[in-house]
Amino acid sequence: MPNRSHRNAGHRTMNRLRRDGIAHASERASDAPTRTVHCVLPGIDCVDLLGRLPDASVQLIVCDPPYNLKLAGWDDRSDYVEWAAAWLGECVRVLRPTGSLALFGGLQFQDEAVGGDLHTLLHHVRTTLPLRLVNLIVWHYRNGMSAHRFFANRHEEIAWFAKTRRYTFNLDAVRERYAPDVERAYLRDKRLNPDSVRLGKNPTNVWEIPRLNANAKERVGHPTQKPIALVTRLVRALSNPGDVVLDFFAGSGVTAVTAMREGRHSISGDLDRALTDRLARLREHAAGDDAIAAPVDVTAAIDDVPLD
């Protein structure tokens, strides 16, 4: 297959900007703040929370919605698509031009009668909203349930949508180091740039990160809690230090705790009031490995967060 990436308008623009010594918006990094602010709103409906945010004020939305799987009371809706349309439309409004929406889900579950899986939401976004699908990321894990009537599922998806072509993407922040023997061999290869070799490789759109099993130390009692490692890769790649990250289905508070570790500000809300307690326990877990470097302010006032 010939490599036709040079015909891609996006790549050509990036190359031209590099030649001219100008950084593309996706490569611009800001300074890490000395203190980060985290607004936590337990007991709030997602649409109410979104309605309190100004236009174009948020860099990254980490969004892990209920999918009508009847896992809990909040996961059983007869108006699923209309309900999702309300918060998806608001996401477009509150995202900055460089911003992204990371929408978690799976394609393998569906209640035929009312809809309610990632497929339903992808269709809605594609047909009605001005968001650009940049990648469909496959989150692959080796641990999961067994199955006898079909192949046991070992992946979920994350649809990465950008608001505009000027989206932030920090590839260097999430590159994977080569194995030591491979890196040594590549460094001996005169055709390769040693700086690029040392930076590592693009992690691709298939991410192998273990799911949290029932006994994981990170678990704080939420039935669908996502690993910090998974959210960390999204936050590093799709936002810069000092940016604001939003999660209105916050569950365990994993996005807020990741933002604390990564020097981003955050806003988290959930209908479930247990958010406060779970987030505090997850933060304690993360503090145990000294990962939260900068001082952190936790507040209940959106106005305290430095929104654009």
Ligand X SMILES: C[S@@+](CC[C@H](N)C(=O)[O-])C[C@H]1O[C@@H](n2cnc3c(N)ncnc32)[C@H](O)[C@@H]1O
Q: What is the rounded CA–CA span in Å between residue 122 and residue 67?
A: 13
For residue 175, give both structure tokens. 């590159």
| Residue appearing with tokens 């309605």 | 51
Nearer to ligand X, 74 or 187 (CB): 74
Residue pointed to by tokens 């890490």:
32
Which residue, 98 or 266, is less far from ligand X as judged by CB? 266
Which of residues 64 and 117 has its CB atom nearest to ligand X in the complex? 64
Among 55, 74, 177, 273, binds ligand X (CB under 6 A): 74
Does 232 bind ligand X (CB under 6 A)? Our answer is no
Give me the sheet containing 296-299, strands edge to edge. 206-208, 132-140, 155-162, 95-105, 58-63, 244-247, 265-270, 36-42, 296-299
The one-letter amino acid code at 167 reads: Y
We find the least distance from the C-beta atom of residue 57 to ligand X, in angstroms, to be: 19
Binding region for ligand X (CB under 6 A) out of 50-58, 178-186, 223-231, 233-241: 223-231
> By C-beta, is 66 or 115 nearer to ligand X?
66
Of 5 and 213, nearer to ligand X (C-beta) is: 213
Query: Contacting ligand X (CB under 6 A), which of 42, 66, 105, 263?
Result: 66
Q: Are strands 155-162 and 296-299 parallel, antiparallel or unpaired?
A: unpaired
Q: Which is nearer to ligand X, 132 or 285 (CB)?
A: 285
Query: Which residue of this chain has its Cβ atom nearest to ligand X in the complex?
Result: 251
For 156-213, give the secondary structure using H, E and C. EEEEEEECCCCCCCCHHHHCECCCHHHHHHHHHCCCCCHHHHHHCECCCCEEECCCCC
254 binds ligand X (CB under 6 A): yes
DSSP H helices in the chain = 9-19, 46-51, 80-94, 118-128, 180-188, 194-199, 228-238, 254-262, 275-287
Helix, strand and coil in the chain, % to nearest 5: 35, 20, 45
Pick the piece of the chain touching ligand X (CB under 6 A) from 14-22, 25-33, 202-210, 222-230.
222-230
Q: Should residue 249 be labelled a site residue for ligand X when binding is judged by CB under 6 A?
A: yes
Shortest Cβ 48–ligand X spacing (Å): 8
- Of residues 77 through 136, those in contact with ligand X by CB under 6 A are none
Residues binding ligand X (CB under 6 A): 45-46, 64, 66, 74, 222, 224-226, 248-249, 251-252, 254, 270-272
